[in-house]
Amino acid sequence: MINQNSTCNSEALKKGNWVKLICGASNQDLPSINDLCSIYGAAGVHCIDLAADEAVVHAARNAIDWVFETYGKKPWLMISLSDGKDSHFRKAWFNPDLCPSNCLRPCQNSCPAHAIENSGGVNAKKCYGCGRCIDTCPLGIIQEKDRRLTLRDFAPLLTTIKPDAVEIHTAPGRGKEFEKTIKEIFKADLQLKRLSVSCGLQGHGINHEQLAEELWLRHKFLRIHNQKPLWQIDGRRMSGDLGAGAAKIAVKLWERLRPIAPPGPLQLAGGTNESTIKYLPEIKGPEGIAFGGKARKIIQPWLEEAQRKGISLREWPEGWEAALSEAKRLINPWLVRKSL
């Protein structure tokens, strides 16, 4: 049995075996979060990334504690914050009274989180902000709602939650906002194991060299505060369930950034799935990977069936074993690879 204590989690970053589960920065579906964290914690992820929400963190901690007691593995608990407007921190919304009676509801078919059902609007707890429904609506009535915390909320929440790690979602041109965010975070006087920075090219109109410059700017702020950085390179955000094309985009961005990125481990995200590893070299690859949409999608049938039964996956042995097998199939190739 692998002991997933803090030292092992750190070692995984050094060896290139690091795997993170992204539950979704806007995901507030507590039963699913508890089951996701239980399944992927048992499967062996080193970190679980969550919305900065007390109820969400409580559900995740319940699962992480159970995993430690049952399997001897304990992934870090990370929460996501943002230094400005970001698609990861939004929810879709529409007034179902405006839908025509004969609407085929293409929004429902496009929603990977099953947050839109046969009637009504968007279930805000399940929506994690991918935005796919917005473009499918023939009437254009679906809107996005910003769900970010304000800067003044960071320190009090972090003091209460006490996460192992924090991830800051940032964007080009927000250097000053990033610095303010860092200062607010450290008002909580936390001993963070890692401070992750997530950024990508999509929607920003810059190239990989300009992205590297932005990361170097943030590296300067992290050095001032003696933080160990983790650079999350976001390929095509929230698209891991779309297939090999999305995986190639994430890998290509890593290939371009690797020679010019600041010191610290690089982690793939945004489009990562089971195909990602096929496009990477066997040695000297990225130090880690984060699975979000794909990780959620492959065990979605068991999550939903457990909820219909009114139980957790941990209380349904057949469903648990089936879902755990799928989770292991996704992450095991990363846990055993020898990258460095």
Level-2 CATH architecture, domain 90-146 = 2-Layer Sandwich (3.30)
Contact 28, 2 (CB under 8 A): no
For 261-301, give the DSSP string: SPSS-EEEESS-STTGGGGS-SSS--SEEEE-HHHHHHTHH
CB 42 within 8 A of CB 67: yes
34: enclosing H helix or E strand: helix 30-43
CA–CA distance, 66 with 68 (Å, rounded to integer): 5
What is the per-residue pLDDT across 220-260, written as a single tens digit (0 to 9) for each?
999 988 888 999 999 887 676 777 888 999 999 999 999 99
318 C-beta neighbours (distance < 10 Å), count? 9
pTM (2 d.p.): 0.89
Query: Taking the domains of the chain in order of start, what are their residue ranges?
Result: 19-86+148-336, 90-146
Cα–Cα distance, 167 to 288 (Å, whole number) = 15
Helix (H) or strand (E) holding 91: strand 90-93
Note the pLDDT tens digit of each residue in 49-96. 999 999 999 999 999 999 999 999 999 999 999 998 877 777 888 999
- CATH architecture entry for 19-86+148-336: Alpha-Beta Barrel (3.20)
pLDDT at residue 242, rounded to an integer: 77
CB distance 331 to 43 below 8 Å: yes
